[in-house]
Structure 1
């Protein structure tokens, strides 16, 4: 177990929870976040500000959808009392009752039904994922848009809508054990509902190939954006970091077992039409099965070397904090405009980080002091010293609030001080 001196962040975590500052950002994200976390005071605060209980995100998901997914009975009761639409429909046709039934939240189902809630989808909670007949998808005019860990990604039309079709190579899909593992992970993915998670749509019924569909985000990946425009200004970088942290916190807080991404990279973070980031590609993620939630015994050597945590490279047992390490490297790139040491091989970089404790440089004029401190904590060589994503969210909200206050008090926003 790490000492308190070694893990300075641990002594501050209790303080940060007591001093948590939630920033009223653009869009419905705080209301949704509080609803999904069961934060009744936060929900009340947002509604008292005048935020509508029916305000929806880009995916048309309301706070009632989130609370119904997460089993937050008190929040569901509060939202219904405040006038939330019991039959609001998200972009996939799901009502709050659809989600409550899918997750077997019987008490919430009863509450929603008493208020007139309906379930147009009638999802079977024992078989939660949907199979899509391949004739519904136009596979003739599909366009190659990328290559994933196990196959190609195509832009296709499904019922008139652009979606992403991810194909699994035959060498992988032909292995019954591997295929079964993929199908189990895809069934899990479909149950996930969060504004910062790419939505899974279904698996094609195809005799020869394994193909699954997800929502298509036309603005591309964070990696593409960094290549085109370079480094972000601090408000944008912190706002994007919050998007990623919120999506990852949702995965890590999944019950009964947390979901570890294990391949969190800029290529696996996509930008939606509303200007928010969503985490995608859980083909490499696993559900931790160990009873000891602090130490998951998993095989190493998985994921992209440049963003790999040292303990994974060393093929040691590891846990959720491997994603925190990868997250820190992504945030570093957003401030810098891309990865450091681009001419050095990715595996060599991973080796140096694992055995020489090498880390990217933190140039003073690019990174606010609070960001530098957060990055040092997130990529700490001792996994136990890294903060949770819940703690990261709190710190980032405080940092963003400070940046916004400084920007608002600045007499001139077009001047550069040299």
Structure 2
């Protein structure tokens, strides 16, 4: 009996001892200055999210710093965390009292409860300093979307602002609490590759992308003192991996009290080790393109008898990040954790064009002994540099749109590459077919691969480029954009010298190889008077360079506002609109498969010596096809703020009518001579399309025109022009005209401007234009449609000139004030 009691007592003590150890390793962290756990939109006194997370989330009303323009969707009285959401119709924010300079964990939870929330596009910023989310949309999900950030704020308050871009903004739950100082190192991380850091990592916001338990199972919220989830690494291992998984059952030795806050025991007591001295282990993670990332590697030697048994190399993106890493240089005994931080840019390392961060451990470089390597855990954060781009401001009434949805760019790039592969297999073999003759079938678009062009006349050597630009002399820079700088140059060959514009990709360009390749594929096979011609390209020594015909008079935008250039007459502006519309018409309907430009804007319309307008910059273009039944391309939203088609934003379906919408915005720029988005104005005037169309619907578009044009515009021409712009800006693509319709009606507006009319005195004021009889509604007469359309397939200047005379004959029938 006594023996049984002793055995029972031993089990109780053992169980108690185990419980104490377990409690010590998983004891939840208590922030020294408290925490904020908000169930947004809820009125319930407290909410426990799940069995894994037993913290109490409270109603959010007390933290809201703006009382207006917000409401609740869902069941506010429900005890479930995601049963309700706080919804904003205008810029609104939460404010949290914090104690000075500390790093805070910020987690944002989103679950769209209605269709309106699933289509909402919005920005989220912190203290008007960090753009946490840009053009964010929580679409096509029935599970919560969680975004986590580490933010160091030197202030007494932390303000998180939600700004609607399309529709609404919303949030389901928010967590804010300070974290231990040890989690963010004061020393700068090791830079891998050519990453150019001109700021301190500790002063940036970090967005958590991955948190991986290498060699172990999933670590849930309840097993991590900081309520973090660690994912197993199995899905990120390179194929053919033969590593060993190791488990440790003894106590982990932390260097300092609270060291388990860096990562829990569950991460450090498992690892993955090299299966042999000559093997390696590789992990690959999809990441943001053209971004800098903090890569944290966690080590804890649980496989050796002594620390001297381990030595290995660490590689990130196939470059050595740490050579001959030996744990004894970092800690004094085995089973003691440490971590090393690195910064690295993502690389396009995938055969499918995806941006990746690849981590590898392998045999050491210098040691003569055969030694192995390990890895216990891995975290990847995206650096969010300080910026004030998304300040918390009052949203205009219908600021329709601008969303470049993260993640969709990867899908878009993959789709583009698949299409290009298809075109390569089916491209025409005849070299002459690349530039159709005047009497050839110009409806056939020849798309040639970059690899093929390397051996053809389009390729220009880097030495020729350097000679043309005097080794990229900064004094020759004539512009800059997302791709890089543009230089003026002169190509010297056996023939006459050629003036060219040379666009050189920047190392930190927001655009990359897909845009470079698309531009070559689109422009190498087409020629049109109103499309900028590609002279050649260069792809040597990691350079991506495009060479175009030189457009001496710059961009259309340069001649409208924010420059000292002479003002354009109304007739000149109409002619430029007609020319650029013809270029887009050719892309949409003059080829075997329509091309959608996707970035139509006034800065992408260039003017040559004679002020002929030409459409440029085809890096974002997409081809509809090859199926004859295809009318759109499903893709992520790309383009420029202020020009986005609202239907494209909602549906992610790109059509030729998306270009029509953007062109409608350009028409208003031409008329009003002001930027499409102009902050600092009353909310109803910030967005050009909203503001001008509000006057157009009242019949008072004349109140918006460029003051330099007052008294110059024929009222009938203005009204026709306003109708065209209004139809282009219809909310639904089906209600918009084709570019062929736009060309016809713009030519009509030009004829109305040129027509001599007897005017009453009041007609000198364009504000009174509505008192005149309306010209015909937008559209084309069937009897002359075929004549006007005859010039849409022109592929040479000669054919285009001929077609213009044909158009003049057509308009000779409408020289009266009433039109036809």
TM-score of the pair, normalised by structure 1: 0.61
The 2-side partners of 1:340 and 1:180 are apart by 27
Aligned pairs for 1:206-285 (under 5 A) are 206-227=540-561, 228=563, 232-285=568-621
Which sections of structure 2, spanning at least 5 residues, go unmatched?
Answer: 1-429, 442-451, 706-714, 767-820
Distance of 1:390 and 1:207 partners within structure 2:
43
CA contact (8 A) 2:518 2:620 kept: no
How far has the Cα of 1:105 moved from its partner? 7.9
Shift of residue 327, structure 1, vs aligned partner: 0.7
Unaligned runs of 5+ in 1: 1-97, 110-123
Task: Specify the SS of the correspondent of 2:587.
Answer: helix
**Which residue number in structure 2 is paired with residue 131 of structure 1?**
459
Residue deviations 1:76-101 (CA, integer Å, cap 9, x gap): xxxxxxxxxxxxxxxxxxxxxx9963
1:170 aligned to which of 507, 510, 513: 507
From the two aligned structures, give the one with the greater strand fraction: 2
CA displacement, residues 53-106 of structure 1 (integer Å, 9 cap, x when unaligned)? xxxxxxxxxxxxxxxxxxxxxxxxxxxxxxxxxxxxxxxxxxxxx996335789
Q: Does 1:307 align with 2:643?
A: yes
| Alignment pair present for 1:394 and 2:744 | yes
CA RMSD of aligned residues (A): 3.8
Give 3-state SS (helix, strand or coil) of 2:755's partner: helix
**Closer/same/farther in 2, CA of residues 293 and 400 from structure 1, 3 Å limit:** farther
C-alpha distance in structure 1 between counterparts of 2:522 and 2:734, whole Å: 27
**Aligned ranges for residues 321-400 of structure 1 at < 5 Å?**
321-339=657-675, 342-343=678-679, 359=693, 361-362=695-696, 363-365=700-702, 366=705, 368-400=718-750
Q: 2:460 aligns to what SS in structure 1? A: strand
Alpha-carbon separation, structure 1, partners of 2:721 and 2:691? 20
Aligned partner of residue 701 in structure 2, secondary structure: coil
- Paired residue for 2:528? 194
CA shift digits 1:160-181 (9 cap, x unpaired): 43311112233569x9xx6266
Report the counterpart of residue 68 of structure 1 in structure 2.
none
- The partner residue of 1:406 within 725, 742, 756 is 756
- Say if 2:553 and 2:607, in contact at 8 Å, map to a contact too: yes
When normalised by structure 2's length, the TM-score is 0.33
Per the TM alignment, residue 325 of structure 1 is displaced from its structure 2 partner at its CA by 0.6
The CA distance in 2 between the partners of 1:107 and 1:278, in whole Å, is 23
For residues 403 and 214 of structure 1, what CA distance do their matches in structure 2 show? 34
Match in the other structure for 1:158 = 491
Q: 2:654 aligns with which of 308, 318, 338?
A: 318
* Higher RCO structure (Cα 8 Å, ≥6 apart): 1
Distance 1:181 1:343 in 2: 30
Larger radius of gyration: 2
Q: Is 2:480 aligned against 1:144?
A: no
Number of equivalences? 297
What displacement does 1:223 show? 1.0
Moved more, 187-196 or 139-148: 139-148
Aligned partner of 1:17 in structure 2 is none
Between 1:259-268 and 1:223-232, the stretch displaced more is: 223-232
Q: Which moved more, 1:289-298 or 1:377-386?
A: 289-298
Shift of 1:379: 0.7
CA distance in 1, matches of 2:687, 2:677: 13
Higher helix share: 1
Using the alignment, how far apart are the partners of 2:457 and 2:592 within structure 1?
A: 18
- What SS is found at the alignment partner of 1:132? coil
Structure 1 match to 2:345: none
